[in-house]
A and B are shown apart, each in its own frame.
Chain A
Amino acid sequence: ETGVTQSPTHLIKTRGQQVTLRCSSQSGHNTVSWYQQALGQGPQFIFQYYREEENGRGNFPPRFSGLQFPNYSSELNVNALELDDSALYLCASSNPGGWSTEAFFGQGTRLTVV
């Protein structure tokens, strides 16, 4: 198991609601990114946070937003939930010591929008 932890593990929300997902990165990792994995697909990059600022974003609308805190933990917020937002949301952290390092993933949060 990696040191990346996510909460909650499962969540059910109603269309139109807002949701906040949380991630604690592995010790020493100051870069955190979020991915959406829809059923039967590979993870898709949402955005990345480095030193509390977003510094890279995938093809996701602005209703997907995030935060990173001084302790490098992070939140993913999704507003105005849609049915298609139902997916496994994965958080990943890396040690920016070099491009050869791998990313460490949490176990994910399964979001179901009904």
Chain B
Amino acid sequence: AQSVAQPEDQVNVAEGNPLTVKCTYSVSGNPYLFWYVQYPNRGLQFLLKYITGDNLVKGSYGFEAEFNKSQTSFHLKKPSALVSDSALYFCAVRDNNNFNKFYFGSGTKLNVKP
């Protein structure tokens, strides 16, 4: 079975500081990993994905994520946080047998304070 875990319900960071939102995964087969962001009363917006290749993946709005196979992690990072980055972040893994089926983590609320 495939799953992802987001161990932190909430992350607080000051504007301008680096941020990390953690995600670990469990898959059978190749991992197809994704990060999505959700703003209040909105759907999910795609940020970035890891399919294969370089372990450091760059995405939208200055976000990047580091894939670590040995630690089965896919942490989301940004060098300098903005207040506007405050939102709910979801890590997800694609089901290897069902194309449009994703397993989502429980989400991490990012609070960036001025």
Which A residues contact B (CB, under 8 angstroms)? Answer: 2, 4, 6, 31-33, 35, 40-45, 48, 50, 55-56, 58, 90, 92-94, 96, 99-100, 102-108, 110
Contacts and interface: CB of A to CB of B under 8 A. Distances in A.
Interface in B48-82: 49, 51
Contact of B43 (A42, A44, A90, A96): A90
B100 A42 contact: no
A43 B100 contact: no
A100 B99 CA distance: 10
Contacts of B103: 45
Given A41-B106, A42-B90, A100 B49 contact: yes
B104 A99 contact: no
Interface of B: 32, 34, 36, 41-46, 49, 51, 90, 92, 94-95, 98-107
Contacts, number: 75
Contacts of A110: 41
Contact of A32 (B45, B46, B100): B100
Candidate in B32, B100, B107 with the most chain A CB atoms within 10 angstroms: B100
A48 B100 contact: yes
Contacts of A100: 32, 49, 51
Nearest to A34: B100
A94 B99 contact: yes
A45 B46 contact: no
B101 A105 contact: no
10 contacts: A33-B101, A42-B90, A42-B106, A43-B90, A90-B44, A92-B44, A93-B100, A94-B100, A99-B51, A107-B43
Contacts of A2: 43, 45
Nearest to A47: B101
- Which 4 pairs of residues, A with B, have the shortest CB-CB distance? A42-B104, A33-B100, A105-B44, A105-B43
